[in-house]
Amino acid sequence: MSVKLSLQCPNCKKGFANNAYRMKCDSCRNAFHLECVNFSREDFLFHRDNKKRWLCEPCLKVKRKSMSDSTPTGSQKSSPAPSQQGSDNELEVETPELADIHSEIQGGMVAPDDTVKELLLSFRKEFRENNLAMTRKLDVSTSEIRDLKEHMNTYSDLIQENVDAITALRNEITLLRQLNEDLVAKNTVLEKRVNSLQEKIEDFDQNALAKTVEITGIPAGRDECIVDIVSNVSRAINFDFNQSMIDNCYRRRPASGTDRPGTIAVTFVRRLDKDGFLSSARRKKDLSTRDLGIIDGESVRIFINQSLTFTNRQLLNRAKIFKADNGYRFVWVRNGQVMIRKDENSAPMEARKVLSNIGSKNGSTPGGSGC
């Protein structure tokens, strides 16, 4: 007669999820949830893969009771059946060998003492095999732990080397930072000295031009006499001139790529005569080539100024740009120095200091680069 399988777990009276693991009793063939019979997934897989027999608790109790009822009396009672110490579920798992022994006991073929002895031998053999397997696993784990420890020691040494190297680099960076700060401080001092020396050199170069004036706008002629031109200009500006006042005079070569005539440089013997020449030129408004008797071509404006070094000419250009951008009214040259003034009520100032202070605040040179 076929055995009817339950669709519910007899312990919890609940059904099973699809593909859920189930422990089936080899006697009643009922299926149980793993957690209802205190089985883990690993236990289930072990029994399934090794084809171990398993009896549920009710069937196990029935089998034990049948074994107890079949125990002989008299002298054979001194060798009782296997004790049921502990809870009833301690002997839930039954191997095929034990099942055969139980069958033989029930059939009267084997005595209970022989059964206990065989059972103990089977347990001892299984325990030794398990112990040996566990020992092998422990040996492998010990070897792996030893290798891991060696690797960790190696990594620890490498980490310590890196820490030492980083510490050395930090110390070196600290030293270099200190050296850099010292160099920056020394460089600042040197920059101030260089700037001071440059100003002194510039003042020296400008003092060398203290007796020189520049005349621009006079057309160049063939076989011209510069002294005669200076004499002619002196008459036009009403300056009492004689040749003994002049130390040197010449026309500079014009800049390449321009059709403007070269500037005439006149160096006086005395600075007093140079100052008188410039004062007369300033009093003469709109001096032009017509004032010199040059009637050919268009009238050209003539300018007479203090001779300046290249640096001071750049400074003069920047001062003019600064004047236009910031509402200043006056920019002029006095004794080789470029001066600037806000209006009639303000005090004159050196353009170099004004532009330097503003450039330091803004981080740039006012009025462009001046090139």
Q: Which of 206, 231, 247 is the last residue of a domain?
A: 206
Domain limit, last residue, from 155, 174, 206: 206
Residues 10 and 51 occupy one common structural domain: yes
**Are 7 and 88 found together in one domain?**
yes
Over residues 262-291, mean pLDDT: 92
Phi, psi of 252, rounded to the nearest 5 degrees = -75, 155
In a domain, 115, yes or no: no
Q: Is residue 94 part of a domain?
A: yes
Helix (H) / strand (E) containing 216? strand 212-216
> Which CATH number belongs to the domain containing residue 38 in this structure?
3.30.40.10
Instruction: List Cβ neighbours of 351 (8 Å cut-off, separation of 6 or more).
Output: 315, 316, 318, 319, 322, 331, 338, 339, 340
Q: What is the pLDDT of residues 305-343, one digit of tens each?
A: 999 998 998 998 999 999 999 989 999 888 788 999 989
Q: Return the pLDDT at 227.
A: 94
Q: In this structure, are 56 and 4 located in the same domain? A: yes
CATH code (residue 264): 3.30.70.1820
Q: Is 68 in the same domain as 145?
A: no
pLDDT tens per residue, range 43-93: 999 989 998 899 999 999 998 888 777 655 444 444 444 433 333 333 344
The 3-state DSSP class for residue 36 equals helix
Average pLDDT over residues 121-140: 87
Q: Are 249 and 264 in contact (CB under 8 A)?
A: yes
77 occurs within a structural domain: no
Residues 42, 105 share a domain: yes
Count of domains forming the chain: 4
Residues 199 and 216: their CA atoms lie apart, in Å, by 27
| Neighbour-count burial of 306, counting CB atoms closer than 10 A to its CB (0-12 exposed, 13-18 middle, 19+ buried) | buried
* Contact of 54 with 45, CB cutoff 8 Å: no
Dump pLDDT digits (tens) for 199-250: 889 888 988 999 999 999 999 888 899 999 999 999 999 999 999 999 999 9
CA–CA separation, 338 and 235 (whole Å): 28
- The full DSSP string for 296-311 is SSS--B-EEEE---HH
Assign residue 309 a region: left if phi > 0, alpha if psi is -120 to 50, beta otherwise?
beta
Give the contacts of 112 (CB within 8 A, at least 6 positions apart): 67, 71, 72, 76, 79, 80, 81, 105
Full domain range(s) for residue 86 = 1-72+82-110
**Residue entry with tokens 């709109």:** 286
Same domain, yes or no: 106 and 137? no
pTM summary value: 0.46
Out of 171, 206, 241, a domain closes at: 206
Q: How far apart are CA 284 and CA 304, in angstroms?
A: 10
Sheet with 337-341, strands from edge to edge, namely 330-334, 337-341, 349-350
State whether 188 and 226 are in the same domain.
no
pLDDT for the residue 147: 87
Whether 199 and 233 share a structural domain: no
